[in-house]
Amino acid sequence: MIIERLQEYVGAETPTGDAAALNAFADRLAERYDALGATVRRVPAPTGDHLVADFPGRAGEAPLLFLGHHDTVWPIGQLRDAMPWRQEDGVIHGPGVFDMKGGLVVLETALEQVADQDRRPVRVVVVADEEVGSPSARELVTAESAGVCAAFGLEPPHPNGDLKTSRWGSTRVRIEITGREAHAALDPDSGISAIDELVDQLIAVRGIVAQHKEVLCNVGTISGGGRTNVVPGSAAADIGFRFVDPETECAVLDAVTGLSPVRGAELQVRVMSNRPAWQPSAATDELLTKVTAAGRTVGQEIGGAAASGAADTNLTGWLGIPTLDGLGPVGKGAHAVHEQVIAASLSERVALVAAILTTI
């Protein structure tokens, strides 16, 4: 039943930004959570609705929070054209199977198993734009984190199954340049090349990053111009930054957002999304100890380690809430065409989550 449910979810493709596809999938989740006894709320957003599901538990106790997302990086048609669902040699392949529809199936199956058992209340938040930094969901995650006992993420674990105990901060920045068009041969001095300005700014960004240790910087997209005989009037670049600590994050972002034009073009720097660094803490160490004990009740040895990738658990960890991530099934290939999960790990993760639900 777990694999059949996962196949159903993978078959419903949900690319980030496709509100119709995401809302149709949210319908499925809402119906499922309602059948499991939750009170479900939809939180509208232009790029797709978020879901909040509250499952009852012992009166007066703080709930456990589980964070997930139903968007994927894959476009509609990926399943048909390049990544067909297949199961062979104990491995399941398909778009979103690892990141993170496997985690969604694990949680709902565990909730079904413990439905009649004594436990804390559970709150589930599933967002629609996690793959681009949850820009429309940050306030929701913050609000729904208030008063919870602990937070758990349903993202993939480390390759050996260990959970994630901290994460680097992640910020997306867009640099937009407005120059002035002119004929590139007859009147070049009347123009201001937006592309040349953008190149200069990217070199400046590289210099800023070089001043700090443990900063990752990736220029993910560049656009601009149109014809070789026209001085380009516009250009833009999207940059992804990763930071190990808040101090470095502030220093780099202050410098980048304070950039000045070199060639007289107009320059705008915008922060598109931000997830603060979630650093190690005694509270998370204590939570990991409890989860390790819960894992042993179902015959599993669970460890934890830091992670460089970012997720919505960055926010709960940054807020000081005891947080662990990586409760999804074991696999590999997130955001890659070989995305896959180990089939046996689905039931193992269900057992672990069920133990967490009934012992913490």
| pLDDT tens, residue by residue, 166-178 | 999 999 999 999 9
pTM over 0.75: yes
255 vs 170, 171, 173, 295, CA distance in Å?
Answer: 16, 14, 12, 45
| 40 and 138 part of one domain | yes
Last residue within a domain, chosen from 256, 275, 294: 275
The answer to whether residues 249 and 268 belong to one domain is: yes
Which residue, of 275, 301, 322, is where some domain finishes? 275
Distance CA 6, CA 11 (A): 8
The pLDDT of residue 31 is 97
Q: Say if residue 11 is in the same domain as residue 86.
A: yes
CATH code (residue 151): 3.40.630.10
pLDDT at 213: 87
Same domain assignment for residues 123 and 187? no
Q: DSSP letter string over 179-246?
A: -B--BTTTSGGG-B-HHHHHHHHHHHHHHHHHTSSSEEEEEEEEEE---TTB---EEEEEEEEEESSH
**Structural domain for 154, as ranges:** 2-168+277-359
Residues of the chain short of pLDDT 70, as ranges, are none
Domain count, the chain: 2
- Of the CA atoms within 13 Å of residue 120, those in its CB half-sphere come to 21
Contacts of 227 (CB under 8 A, 6+ apart): none
Together in a domain, 175 and 300? no
Tell whether 50 and 186 lie within a shared domain. Answer: no
Same domain, 55 and 135: yes
From CA 92, how far away is CA 338, in angstroms rounded? 10
Residues 147, 43, single domain; the answer is yes
CATH number at residue 236: 3.30.70.360
pLDDT, position 1: 87
Last residue of a domain, one of 275, 296, 326: 275
